[in-house]
C-alpha cells in the first residue's frame, strides 16, 4: 500500500476537497501544511515535476491573487519565476521562504506527484491504488 502525503492550506477549497476525496475513497494519506515544506522536500517535489520547481508555483499573479488575496509580498516573484529570471536553485530557495507560492494541494508518494485539484486526474491516478478496508456501520 502506498503512503501518500497531501500538502495543503487550511481553508483552501481545493485542498479541502482533495482531502475529502482521498478520505472518502479510502486512500491512505498524511495531511501536512504546505507551510511545513522544507527546502529538501521542495527539491524532491520539483524533481518529480516536468519542468521543475517553477511548475510547483502558481502560473500567474491573477490565479495566485484569487486564492491568496491578502498576500502581496509574493506577487512580484511569480513573474520572475515564470519569466526565466531565476535558476532552479533560486526558485527552490524562494519557495522555501514563501511556501504560499505553491499551488495546492500537492499530493505525492515520492514517486509521482499531483498538483492542484482535478477530479479526473485523481480518479485515474488512484484507480489501481490499494485502499484501506472500509466497512459500513
* Backbone torsions φ then ψ of 43, nearest 5 degrees: -65, -45
pLDDT of residue 92: 97
Please give the tally of structural domains in the chain. 2
Q: Are residues 63 and 95 in the same domain?
A: yes
Instruction: Please check the confidence at residue 135 and state whether its pLDDT lies above 70.
Output: no
Confidence of residue 131 (pLDDT cuts 50, 70, 90): low
Per-residue model confidence as pLDDT tens digits over 26-52 = 999 999 999 999 999 999 999 999 999
- Categorise residue 79: left if φ over 0, alpha if ψ from -120 to 50, beta otherwise: alpha
Question: Is 49 found in the same domain as 72?
Answer: yes
56 and 95 in a common domain: yes
pLDDT number for residue 137: 43
Supply the pLDDT for residue 136: 47
Same domain, 80 and 131: no
pLDDT at 119 (0 to 100): 92
Residues 116 and 90 in one domain: no
Q: Are residue 49 and residue 82 in the same domain, yes or no?
A: yes
10 with 47, same domain: the answer is no
Output the pLDDT for position 39.
96
* 32 and 50 part of one domain: no
Domain that holds residue 67: 38-101
55 and 83 together in one domain? yes
**In 3D, which of 82, 9, 6, 87 has the Cα closest to residue 43?**
87
**Mean pLDDT over the full length of the chain:** 91
Nearest to 15, CA basis, from 55, 67, 50: 67
Q: Give the CATH number for residue 110.
A: 3.40.30.10
67-113 pLDDT, tens digit per residue, is: 888 889 999 999 999 999 999 999 999 999 999 999 999 999 999 99
Query: Angle, nearest 10°, between helix axes 88-97 and 75-83?
Result: 160
Amino acid at each position: 500500500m502506498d503512503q501518500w502525503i497531501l500538502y495543503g492550506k487550511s481553508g483552501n477549497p481545493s485542498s479541502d476537497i482533495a482531502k475529502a476525496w482521498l478520505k472518502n475513497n479510502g486512500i491512505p494519506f498524511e495531511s501536512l501544511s504546505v507551510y511545513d515544506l522544507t527546502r529538501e522536500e521542495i527539491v524532491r517535489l520539483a524533481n518529480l515535476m516536468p519542468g521543475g520547481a517553477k511548475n510547483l508555483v502558481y502560473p500567474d499573479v491573477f490565479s495566485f491573487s484569487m486564492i491568496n488575496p491578502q498576500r502581496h509580498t509574493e506577487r512580484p516573484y511569480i513573474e520572475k519565476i515564470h519569466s526565466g529570471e531565476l535558476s532552479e536553485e533560486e526558485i527552490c530557495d524562494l519557495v522555501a521562504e514563501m511556501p504560499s507560492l505553491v499551488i495546492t494541494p500537492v499530493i505525492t508518494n515520492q514517486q509521482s506527484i499531483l498538483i492542484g485539484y482535478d477530479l479526473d486526474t485523481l480518479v485515474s491516478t488512484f484507480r489501481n491504488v490499494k485502499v484501506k478496508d472500509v466497512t459500513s456501520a
